[in-house]
Structure 1
């Protein structure tokens, strides 16, 4: 029996893969990956620069101070304070101690000097709940001025933080948690379904989902800060409402940036809220102690606006928070509006491209 020639091995041709270190490197690291890593490095260095830049040398600048003194001494005290090197203090006279206390509690001033015409010990009124760092700085300034006049100063804290609110920092940390939760939730929703929403309906659904999330996040933060820890008590409903607004402002802004710039938009959000927003928020150091750049931007970013709104709600009967609430409302409204408009324009461009093709 004759056997035929052996059958050719049936093998599927395999594409030849490049060999060598450089080929493996090109296969493992794409140009997009390199650009993303460079972006992360820039964020990291920006974080270091912003935080150290804001906090490495706190210097008082125009701390608002009221002065109560006899007519013959009032102008002299005010001039002495206002002539201090570096515009340290911005002082003005008021007619009575009661008016000085009222201005501290409505956030017009950070401190008040009460000159005692019958003795050598004057009084400095502060409200450290508004920022312990600025209160202690005001006390140091007053002591140096009084010593030069061979007088003494007694410090009276008329609105200290609650015992469970260590150094008055709970407002800042609560707002920080709300901000982080807002932009992380928006980022996760965006990445789970593609960084750019495919249609307007998806954007609206995301915004609606984030609105529900904001209400739950605000409630959770209020429960922890008020009911569980007792750090910020007595204004539960207001705290819940503020938290919901802060979270949605951060989330809506993040959605807008994602729609506009994809994954790069998340980086822009981190720059705005974390790199720039946190050190300028007035948590560790109030605006009066920050360098000019951070002092200028703090109240116009959600972390600073949120910290001021929460602090003034809890400790100062809601005084001086109109600007903060307006800023938060604008981020929430404009973020949502920008996301919707950008999604609609993206759909329109896509349809026009399809028609052209």
Structure 2
């Protein structure tokens, strides 16, 4: 009796727990270790009071990266430019907290709790949401949930190009067309129907399409280099690690190091950051994400364009027909 089926059964039994463990590590570990790590915040106001606020932030042991501003107007500009997530302004009436729930509702709540805990009990803390999340998604849940469908759409496009053997210009055009259509459809759902993003419609569509193109091109490029194994590697990078390390549901600076930085170098994290920038901040701080997505797209498309179509196996030559011996007179 052949031992091949038994070996396959043992491989499946060992592989399933390994994949579950890897998935739990990728998703549960960062979520269980959420805490501020060099989180950019601002401090503004008169020197003595502002210095006290700055010292209180610095006493948190590397949790915050403090930026000093002269007045409230400068702090607001820094928030709108996505330089800081929020700022505390020292006023004669007490601290005035400026937040941006559109950048991260989780960070806004964290700053509110940190500032309230740092002032004497009973001291009122005025809070102003400078860039508020849209009414259709006040907690940012829908925006955070949009990363996985984009990753799956890119995975599907790259897998189809690989499995159907599309190479060269046909493969590249297929990826471009699929990404463009997904960008239009996703913007119609998130902007026009659900109202969870509120920027320029076509700019948002371009950001979503570029995200899908980067993911799909990376998967197809890996498929062109490694065959069907490249699809599995693409799924590991884009879906398992890219989605869980993206920081879209919280913030990259809240994830354990170096998970937050790695996530921003992968297309799902860069795409989520780009979408926030174009949807709520008029494109501020979008340059890094655009470069990251463009690099993944260019490398993947180059691999698809330069890869040769796998040669078809030669058909076996049929044997010559049997011929009856000729009769001789």
TM-score, normalised to structure 1, is 0.80
Alpha-carbon shift at residue 75 of structure 1 (Å): 2.4
- The answer for the alignment partner of 2:103 in structure 1 is 130
Q: Cα distance, 1:239 vs. partner?
A: 1.2
Q: What is aligned with 1:340?
A: 305
Find the counterpart in structure 2 of residue 236 from structure 1.
201
- Is residue 275 of structure 1 aligned with residue 220 of structure 2? no
Asked whether the equivalents of residues 252 and 336 of structure 1 are also in contact (C-alpha less than 8 Å), the reply is yes
Counterpart among 130, 134, 146 of residue 174 in structure 1: 146
Name the CA distance, whole Å, in 2 between partners of 1:285 and 1:167.
10
Shift of 1:305: 0.4
**Equivalent residue for 1:226?**
191
Is residue 74 of structure 2 the alignment partner of residue 94 of structure 1? no
Asked if structure 2 preserves the Cα contact closer than 8 Å seen for 1:170 and 1:232, the reply is: no
Radius of gyration: which is bigger? 1
Contact 2:263/2:269 (8 A) holds in 1: yes
Q: Please, what is the CA RMSD of the aligned residues?
A: 2.4
Q: Unpaired runs of 5+ in structure 2?
A: 314-329
> CA-to-partner distance for each residue in 1:178-199, whole Å, 9 max, x for gaps?
22101112213323x3xxx4xx
**Structure 2 residue aligned with 1:60, among 36, 46, 59?**
36
CA–CA distance in structure 2, aligned partners of residues 39 and 335 of structure 1:
29
What is the deviation of 1:70? 1.4
The ranges of structure 1 where at least 4 consecutive aligned residues each deviate by more than 6 angstroms after the TM superposition are none
Structure 1 unmatched ranges of 5 or more:
1-17, 351-357
Please state whether the residue corresponding to 2:258 is helix, strand or coil.
helix
Secondary structure at the counterpart of residue 164 of structure 1: coil
Q: 1:345 to 1:206 in 2, by over 3 A?
A: closer
Distance 1:185 1:171, change over 3 A: same
Which of 286, 310, 314 is the matching residue for 1:321? 286
Deviations for 1:222-243, whole angstroms, at most 9, x for unmatched residues? 1111122222234110111112
Q: 1:246 to 1:29 in 2, by over 3 A?
A: farther
In 2, are the aligned partners of 1:227 and 1:233 still within 8 Å (CA)?
Answer: no
2:85 is equivalent to residue 110 of structure 1: yes
Task: State the 1:39 CA deviation.
Answer: 5.3
Task: Say if 1:202 and 1:64 are closer, same or farther in 2 by CA, change over 3 A.
Answer: closer
Q: 1:127 to 1:228 in 2, by over 3 A?
A: same
SS, match of residue 97 in structure 2: strand
Higher percent of residues as helix: 1
